[in-house]
Amino acid sequence: MTDFSAAIGSALSLVIGFDPVLVEIIGLSLYVSLTAVLFAAIIGLPLGAAVALFSCPGRTVITVLLNALMGLPPVVVGLVVYLLLSRAGPFGVLGLLFSPTAMIIAQTVLITPIIAALTRQVIEDLWAEYEDLLRSFGAGPLRALPTLIWDGRFSLVTAVLAGFGRASAEVGAVMIVGGNIDHVTRVMTTAIALEVSKGDLALALGLGIVLILLSVGINGAVFVVRRMAEQRYG
């Protein structure tokens, strides 16, 4: 009990004192996750909207696939990206393996289906509600898209935040493609796993505290966004 209390105290000291090692790991984690969320949103938002609004052969299959990929195992994504970026892979010449770029690619692959699937649901529901009205003004699916995105902007922000929550807590894929290299690819989740195995509970707990605060912040942001939407639109 005494050792645990001492570890908690040391962890709080690291967080409050902005320990350089802790800050470096947090900074890299945020850079990787936020960049991945940006790319995933650029891909996932239009993809989800297109699946929601446009009929095409295999649309049902695409919808089911997007929903299924929301639970894609991180280690499988890590393995596939590793094989693609390894020297024997098709993109090995780029030399991206064991770099933050490889980690961003893996996280982007993981969270794009989440953002796309949630976007599809939001836009599809709005289109079902307003289709007759929008068509009466001569707006087809393509012309109606900006209106639907604006009307569903709070829900779409929630979808992006959900993607960020998945990215920030990811460990399996980034461990495989990043290698958990000190000062290069060590992020919060991989650092926690390493420090626990080494017995350095202070740093692991410090990073754990930051992850918990980040998770609470994300959920708080989602709650605020939803309340804003409810207050504005009822």
What is the spatial distance between Cα 22 and Cα 192, in angstroms, rounded to a whole number? Answer: 11
pTM tops 0.75: yes
How far is it, in rounded angstroms, from Cα 57 to Cα 203?
Answer: 52
Domain coverage including residue 104: 2-233
Look at residue 130 and tell me whether its pLDDT is greater than 90.
no
The predicted model gives 193-207 an average pLDDT of 83
Task: Give the count of alpha carbons within 13 A of 42, CB side only.
Answer: 7
Give the Å distances, CA to CA, from 24 to 29, 30, 184.
Answer: 9, 10, 10
CATH number (domain holding residue 93): 1.10.3720.10
Give me the number of domains the chain comprises.
1
| Predicted confidence (pLDDT) at residue 31 exceeds the cutoff of 60 | yes
Task: Check residues 202 and 111 and name the one with the higher pLDDT.
Answer: 111
Q: Which residue has the tokens 């195992």?
A: 73
The band of 147, judged by pLDDT with boundaries at 50, 70 and 90, is: confident
pLDDT at 2: 57
- pLDDT band, very low/low/confident/very high, at 79 (cuts 50, 70, 90): very high
What SS3 class is residue 84?
Answer: helix
Q: Which amino acid is at 138?
A: G
Q: Tens of pLDDT along 157-171? A: 888 988 988 888 888
pLDDT at 148 over 80: yes
**pLDDT score, position 234:** 56
Q: Is 74 helix (H, G, I), strand (E, B) or coil?
A: helix
